[in-house]
């Protein structure tokens, strides 16, 4: 089951990578390049999960047979490296959105993007190397190779080198995205009130051809930009659902070594879906749908189907457009553009 889910998740992550490579404007959007590297990390993690993809029972017979082999070591190292990279890039996305929306730092991405790479990849390498030097990579209780859980030090290493950093990232993401969502909600309310109460959801997908004047087009564009940024904020929050059951299962294993199949199944189901969930969130963005619709319109079969529908408008790219979408607040001045 895990191999199948990981394959779907990897396919979803590859869709995001492909979209970024084909459409240059998507990479230039706020957090666009960060989402690209998040997806690359998800692809790496998905590949690690299918290295020992034979059916295995909850006691991990297949992984135990592979214990000590190069394949087992490779799976454990790849899983550790890319799992950490995945949640680290979600923290980078939250950090970037917080700087762009709350602090109005339009140059944050250019200044911090190289730092993200140095910090994240170095941390992943160190956290992957420590279990290797400690010789605690091996079969787990679920048919895979990772940090062994048959010794007390294995549980300690799991917590210190993965789960504690994971939930620190979850906590940071939650606080940051709560602040970002609050600012975006206020900005959207101001745009709607200024534009005479037009519906936010309707404005998001309204094609540009229906705009009667520059003012209404500008308001609709602001709403689309704001809603797209709010959707980007879902990437860090997906982390919670994907790793909650895994954390519960690991804590349970620390106190009772006997596996619980139902809990393990929930762990496998949730932790294998991050790439797929990210792809669903990403694919629903108007800018992504618009970019792909223009490509598919040229296909002989798909084109006629799309031509019967209103063409999906794309959001403008760049930090400045998103920053300018945060309209001025005549009250306390917090919403004034920079």
Domains of the chain by residue range: 2-324
Taking CA atoms, 265 is separated from 46, 261, 262, 276, in Å, by 17, 6, 5, 17
What superfamily would CATH give domain 2-324? Rhodopsin 7-helix transmembrane proteins (1.20.1070.10)
Comparing 95 with 269, the larger pLDDT belongs to 95
Encoded tokens for 286? 């108007």
Handedness of CA 329, 335, 337, 338 (dihedral sign): positive
- Compute the distance between CA of residue 187 and CA of residue 104 in angstroms, rounded to an integer: 13
Q: What pLDDT sits at residue 300?
A: 63
65 pLDDT band, cuts 50/70/90, is: low
Cα–Cα distance for residue pair 73/139, rounded to 1 Å: 9
The separation between the first and the last C-alpha atoms of the chain, rounded to the nearest angstrom, is 50
User: What pLDDT was estimated at residue 307?
Assistant: 54
- pTM metric for this prediction: 0.76
| pLDDT tens figures, 118-161 | 999 999 999 999 999 999 998 876 678 899 877 778 888 999 99
Element of type H or E holding 145: strand 145-147
pLDDT above 90 (res 331): no
Residues 6+ apart with CB under 8 A from 332: none
Does residue 13 contact residue 44 with C-beta atoms inside 8 Å?
Answer: no
Give tens-digit pLDDT for 162-206. 999 999 999 999 999 899 888 888 887 887 777 654 554 544 444
**Which residues, in sequence order, are CB contacts of 337 under 8 Å at separation 6+?**
104, 323, 324, 326, 327, 328
* Mean pLDDT confidence for 225-233: 74
């Amino acid at each position: 089951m895990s191999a199948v889910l990981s394959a779907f998740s990897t396919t979803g992550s590859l869709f995001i990578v492909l979209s970024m490579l084909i459409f240059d404007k998507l990479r230039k959007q706020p957090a666009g390049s960060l989402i690209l590297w998040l997806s690359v990390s998800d692809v790496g993690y998905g590949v690690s999960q299918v290295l020992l993809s034979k059916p295995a029972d909850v006691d991990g017979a297949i992984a135990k047979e592979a214990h000590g082999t190069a394949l087992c070591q490779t799976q454990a190292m790849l899983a550790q490296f890319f799992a950490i990279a995945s949640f680290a890039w979600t923290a980078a996305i939250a950090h970037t959105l917080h700087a762009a929306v709350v602090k109005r730092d339009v140059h944050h991405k250019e200044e911090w993007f190289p730092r993200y790479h140095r910090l994240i990849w170095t941390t992943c390498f160190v956290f992957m190397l420590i279990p290797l030097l400690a010789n605690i990579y091996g079969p787990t209780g679920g048919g895979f190779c990772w940090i062994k859980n048959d010794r007390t030090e294995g549980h300690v290493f799991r917590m210190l080198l993965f789960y504690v950093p994971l939930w620190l990232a979850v906590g940071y993401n939650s606080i940051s995205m709560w602040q970002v969502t609050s600012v975006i909600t206020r900005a959207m309310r101001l745009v709607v009130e200024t534009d005479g109460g037009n519906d936010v959801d309707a404005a998001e997908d309204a094609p540009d051809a229906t705009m009667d004047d520059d003012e209404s087009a500008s308001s609709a564009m602001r709403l689309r930009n704001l809603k797209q940024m709010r959707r980007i904020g879902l990437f860090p929050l997906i982390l919670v659902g994907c790793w909650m059951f895994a954390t519960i299962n690991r804590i349970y294993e620390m106190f009772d070594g006997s596996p619980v199949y139902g809990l393990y199944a929930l762990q496998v189901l949730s932790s294998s879906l991050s790439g797929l969930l990210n792809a669903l969130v990403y694919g629903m963005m108007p800018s992504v749908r618009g970019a792909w619709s223009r490509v598919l319109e040229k296909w002989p079969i798909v084109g006629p189907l799309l031509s019967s529908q209103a063409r999906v408008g794309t959001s403008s790219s760049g930090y400045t457009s998103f920053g300018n979408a945060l309209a001025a607040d005549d009250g306390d001045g917090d919403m004034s553009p920079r």
